[in-house]
Amino acid sequence: MSKATLLVYTNCPAGREDEFNAWYDTVHLPDLLTEVPGIISARRLRLAGPAPALQARGREPEVAQYLAMYELDTDDTRAFMKTLVETSNSLGERGRMFDGLQIVGSATYTALGEEQHKG
């Protein structure tokens, strides 16, 4: 069972969606699942309806078209995020990042209680 969830809201340049999605699914997610301790699973979603605009520091509010959800096996989300940033920087230095990645926002949440399932 996961102890926390990381939500990452992203966009990419218009006209590069196919390239972005191929990179995210075949390069980025496998890299993170392999190289970042504590990630149990990852899943991506595309916006399917209205959504609130998120305000990133120093930028205009924008609506994220994509969401990546990472289930985490950690109670220490601050330490996890530090490791994630360090790993992402290393991946960038190795040419493993998409040059059009636009992170709109991110947040970690710790679990409250047990997961509920329909009867």
Q: Could you tell me if residue 116 is inside a domain?
A: no
At 33, which helix (H) or strand (E)?
helix 29-35
Is residue 79, in this structure, part of any structural domain at all? yes
117 domain residue, yes or no = no
d(CA 44, CA 62): 19
What string of H, E and C letters represents the secondary structure of 89-119?
A: HHHHHCCCCCCCCEEEEEEEEECCCCCCCCC
The residue segments making up the domain with residue 41 are 4-110
Domain annotation covers residue 115: no
- Residue 47's domain is classified under what CATH number? 3.30.70.100
Measured CA to CA, the distance from residue 4 to residue 73 in angstroms comes to: 7
**Total-model pTM:** 0.92
Is residue 119 in some structural domain? no
What confidence score (pLDDT) does residue 111 get?
87
| pLDDT tens profile 50-93 | 998 988 777 888 999 999 999 999 989 999 999 999 999 999 99
End-to-end CA distance of the chain: 19
Task: Give the confidence band of 1 by pLDDT, cuts at 50, 70, 90.
Answer: low
* Within-domain flag for 88: yes
102 inside domain: yes
Residue 70 covered by a domain: yes
Q: How many domains is the chain partitioned into structurally?
A: 1
